[in-house]
Amino acid sequence: METNPERDPENPSEAEHPKIATELSRNLTLLQVTMMGVGMMIGAGVFLGVGNAVRIAGPGGVILTFALNAVIALFTAMSYAELSSAVPRAGGAYNFARIAFGKGTSFLAGWMEWFASSVAGSLYAVTFALYTVHYFTQLGIIQATGFKLVLVEKGVAILIASFFVYINYRGASETGTMGAIFTLGQTVTLAFIALVGIGTAISDPARLANFQPFLPNGWDKLLITMGFTYVAFEGFEVIAQAGDETIEPRRNLPKAMMYSIVIVMFTYVGVAFASIVGVKDVGQPAWIWIGNYGGKGFGEAISRLIPSYGSVLVTITVICASTSALNATIYSATRASYALGRDRMLPAVLSRLHPKRRTPYMALLSTGGLVIVVAAFLPTIDVASSASMMFLFLFFLVNLCVIRIRRQMADEMTYGFVMPLFPIPPIAAILIQAVLAVYLVHMSPIAWVVGPMWVLSGLIIYHLYSKHRAIRTEDEIVVIREEPIPSKGEYRILISVANPANAIALAMNCYRFCQAKGASTEVEVINMVNIPPLLPLSEASKYTQAGEEAITQAMLYLAPRYAFGSTIRYCRNFARCIISAAAERKADLLIMGWQGHRRQGFSLGSTVDPVLERATCNIAVFKDCRQHKYMNVLVPYAGGPNATFSLETASIMVDKDEGRVVVLHVASPGKPTQDIDAFLDETVPQLNASRSLFEPKYVIARDRFKILLEEAEQHDLVVIGATRDPVFRQRVMGSLPEELARNCKKPLIMVKAKHPIKSFIKRWM
Amino acid sequence: MNIWELLTTFDILLGIVLTAISLCAVVFLTMWSRSIIERIHARPQSSHREIQKEIINGNKS
């Protein structure tokens, strides 16, 4: 948790570059971003992957591998789509993690994104060089051998990487156009190969015998092939990076992610089918023949399918695929490092934009350097396996982010897309990707060495540099002033006060709870500063006066008798601030006031609704409770999980000498009634109150709401448990407690009891 | 051999069914997502709750 309200003064780097003066240029169309995604997916990996997958999983296994991977990838793509539609900014997973988990996790996400995309770029540059040089060697244009040949290949790899660094420097539009041209070329070629395969199978059905045995090595081998080909679906990452540069990003980014998965899935399944049926009369089963060629199996199979020009076609396609993938990965890695620089996680120089072209040229330069160094000097294939591993980590993290943001911050988001069937897709993706990551070890143990080393270096950089310099974002909770209670006593109450007017009433009611809970009770008051929009956080201290007065009022009332603490915080969303403080302070009870106003779209209010829904402690919301004595307290009872806490609250609020608590159950005609006496006999002994204080009352009526409202008018306080329905269901179906709270003219307390298991899950989610 | 002869073993049958289900699932989820996107963008600046409400109501009707 941050403790300093100032943004600028202690952040010299920001002072030097106070605000990014220009924005990235927004001119990428739906077609361009879709093609960038497709281009990144259909890299060289799939061509190498087909042969190897056939060897391990067999002829049917390779097709199943791509089909099943597409489903899993779509689940993660839906998470990316939902988050990108809500946060359409350069940075992708880095941005999502920043909002969901804070700056530490987000730095690691950005750091991994940068590395994974850069190394993938190196792999594509090297693949381009290998195929091009091999092709020219076959034509006799290049005659080098041995070490000279390696030097030529490295030189070509550096040249092509430099060329695409220049294309990216020219601007997003040029990058998108170039990517779209290459990707369209390769996709059309692959679709042609797939169609030839289908046509061949129709004209010569005997070739379908190549699919027997369908899965010669068993079903379990599917997991291995799915593990190492899954990264061939990673293109939605580059689409997420294009948030700042896409036209209508909230609509186009999610669409582009979905469309790219569909295009790629049919392409992969089609070419895998074509490669199987392409082989005939080779003296052994087709899958063994293709598998024996390993990474070259696809090319050899297509050469058999189209003998006259299949080899040339494959070479051209691989060259197109590796260049479009190289283009997309350089773009993606550049945006990842740009985002890190923009938020000062890495030096601000990375966020500099070219004044004319609006491209992050310094981030591009550093990314280009990384791509070239890895391509020229490191064993790219091994390092690329680590990149695959890191992409899996990233996807894992993004799926966690989508769940956490929906649970905790959905009110603050403006979504352009919400995934159907939530939370099944992200949970399924997390579980299946964990299995695939484990199986990836079988293919490349080195991935488990290089990957953690990169993460470790990121952790060191974060703790030495980024942690102290990162700019706070508007989504963060900032502690402006704080006087905490040092140790946790037996019972801790957190009171949320908005202004001096409600502070005394809440303190007075809190005092009753303190008396009931004993002398070791602690009270902490929280006030949220309301800073006008567009003002920087450094102005927050000018708006703390009302909060300080409110805290003083509460302190005068409570501090003489009980341990007292206070905190003033700023957050764009008050509810999140209160929920976070309650969890952080391990509060047993949260007390807050409600004025009775309601915003459209909410049951009780934009602050009270989320707090009741998500806070992990007992909650008591007070409406108009300003009296010193309550003689007649009404507790509507329906046997829910909040009944015991309602009764306890009523017993604390009522005058114990002369007052009474009426426990009312309104049953519909013909329906069984609750046994109030049994409930009271069981509960009252735990409450330190006399049984004679409570009176059961039964009413049978069709209109329960009308009876409750009439009964409420005859009492001077109503204590009612909050509904158990999710908020959106309340909005659709309606909810009796909230309806009563809105219409009741008498003082009212709405309570919600902590549910141990749900609270535990919420804390972690 | 023709396609009917191919469908004689359990592995092949199950494999074809799984492949078909996967392809259909991806297309169906994509079309569903697309309809959600269009519905959301029919109303500018919708909040999450409004979208949820609208999707639930839409599914009922």
Q: Is B10 on the interface with A (CB under 8 A)?
A: no
pLDDT > 90: percent of chain B: 31
Architecture of domain A624-749: 3-Layer(aba) Sandwich (3.40)
Kindly report the nearest CA distance between residue A703 and chain B, in angstroms: 25
Residue A754: pLDDT band (50, 70, 90) is confident
The ipTM (two decimal places) reads 0.86
Could you tell me which CATH number the domain at A26-469 has? 1.20.1740.10
Low-confidence winner among A84-98, A333-347, A492-506, A537-551 (lowest mean pLDDT): A537-551
Predicted pLDDT of residue A2: 39
Contacting residues of B for A254, CB less than 8 Å apart = 33, 37
Greater confidence (A534 vs A701) lies with A701
Predicted pLDDT of residue A748: 94
- Rounded Cα distance between A165 and A245, Å, is 18
Q: Is B8 on the interface with A (CB under 8 A)?
A: no
Q: Is the peptide bond before A213 cis (omega within 30 degrees of 0)?
A: yes
**pLDDT tens by residue, A152-196:** 989 999 999 999 999 888 877 777 777 788 888 888 889 999 999
pLDDT > 70: percent of chain B: 56
Contacting residues of A for B41, CB less than 8 Å apart = 250-251, 416
Low-confidence winner among A67-81, A261-275, A348-362 (lowest mean pLDDT): A348-362
Give the mean pLDDT of chain A.
Answer: 84
Greater confidence (A763 vs A203) lies with A203
Kindly report the nearest CA distance between residue A215 and chain B, in angstroms: 7
The answer to whether A477-593 and A624-749 have equal CATH topology is: yes
Residue B54: pLDDT band (50, 70, 90) is low
Query: Among all residues of chain B, which has the CA nearest to that of A60?
Result: B15
Phi/psi zone of residue A518: left (φ > 0), alpha (ψ -120 to 50 degrees), beta? left
Residue A731: pLDDT band (50, 70, 90) is very low
CA angle (A403 as vertex; A397, A409 as ends), nearest 5: 115
Low-confidence winner among A56-70, A153-167, A528-542, A630-644 (lowest mean pLDDT): A528-542
Residue B60: pLDDT band (50, 70, 90) is very low
Contacting residues of A for B22, CB less than 8 Å apart = 64, 67-68, 70-71
- Rounded Cα distance between A325 and A38, Å, is 8
Predicted pLDDT of residue A143: 82
**pLDDT tens by residue, A29-54:** 999 899 989 988 887 667 778 888 89
Predicted pLDDT of residue A492: 93
Predicted pLDDT of residue A403: 92
- Rounded Cα distance between A278 and A301, Å, is 6
Predicted pLDDT of residue A78: 95
Contacting residues of B for A729, CB less than 8 Å apart = 56
- The CATH class that applies to domain A477-593 reads alpha beta
Q: Is the peptide bond before A423 cis (omega within 30 degrees of 0)?
A: yes
Predicted pLDDT of residue B50: 66
The answer, yes or no, to whether residue A17 has pLDDT greater than 50, is no
Contacting residues of A for B26, CB less than 8 Å apart = 70-71, 74, 261-262, 265
Predicted pLDDT of residue B59: 47
Q: Given CA atoms A417, A423, A425, A429 in this order, what sign does their dihedral have?
A: positive
Instruction: Answer yes or no: do A67 and B37 touch at CB < 8 A.
Output: no
Predicted pLDDT of residue A733: 45
Predicted pLDDT of residue A203: 92
Tell me the residues of chain A between 659 and 718 that have a Cβ less than 8 Å away from chain B: none
Structure tokens at A176: 């998108």
List the one residue out of A649, A675, A312 whose CA is nearest residue A510: A649
Contact A565, A584 (CB under 8 A): no
Domain boundaries, chain A: 26-469, 477-593, 624-749
Low-confidence winner among A312-321, A332-341, B18-27 (lowest mean pLDDT): A312-321
Contacting residues of A for B1, CB less than 8 Å apart = 205-206, 208-209
pLDDT > 90: percent of chain A: 34
Predicted pLDDT of residue A12: 39
Burial of A464 (0-12, 13-18, 19+ CB in 10 A): exposed
Predicted pLDDT of residue A14: 40
Low-confidence winner among A177-186, A558-567, A585-594, A648-657 (lowest mean pLDDT): A177-186
- Rounded Cα distance between A660 and A469, Å, is 59
Kindly report the nearest CA distance between residue B59 and chain A, in angstroms: 11
The answer, yes or no, to whether residue A16 has pLDDT greater than 50, is no
Contact A124, A327 (CB under 8 A): no
Q: Taking residues B5-12, what's their average pLDDT?
A: 72
- Rounded Cα distance between A554 and A535, Å, is 29
Q: Taking residues A503-526, what's their average pLDDT?
A: 91
Q: Taking residues A591-600, what's their average pLDDT?
A: 81
Q: What b/e readout covers A229-245, taking b as 16+ CB neighbours within 10 angstroms? A: bbbbbbbbbbbbbbbbb
The answer, yes or no, to whether residue B61 has pLDDT greater than 60, is no
DSSP A506-556: HHHHHHHHHHHH-TTEEEEEEEE--PPTT--GGGGGGG-HHHHHHHHHHHH
A503: helix, coil or strand? helix
List the one residue out of A426, A566, A423 whose CA is nearest residue A497: A566
Contacting residues of A for B29, CB less than 8 Å apart = 74, 78, 258, 420
- Which of A214, A254, A266 is opposite residue B33, by nearest beta carbon? A254
* Segment (H or E) for A365: helix A361-377
Structure tokens at A55: 């060897």
Low-confidence winner among A127-131, A240-244, A485-489, A573-577 (lowest mean pLDDT): A485-489
- Which of A211, A265, A417 is opposite residue B6, by nearest beta carbon? A211
Greater confidence (A81 vs B2) lies with A81
Residue B3: C-alpha distances to residues A204, A280, B7, B17, B22 (Å): 11, 17, 7, 14, 20
CA angle (A361 as vertex; A357, A363 as ends), nearest 5: 145
- Rounded Cα distance between A239 and A253, Å, is 6
The answer, yes or no, to whether residue A25 has pLDDT greater than 80, is no
**pLDDT tens by residue, A381-413:** 666 677 778 888 889 999 999 998 888 777 778
Predicted pLDDT of residue A51: 87
Kindly report the nearest CA distance between residue A698 and chain B, in angstroms: 35
The answer, yes or no, to whether residue A59 has pLDDT greater than 70, is yes
In this structure, which amino acid lies at residue A129?
A
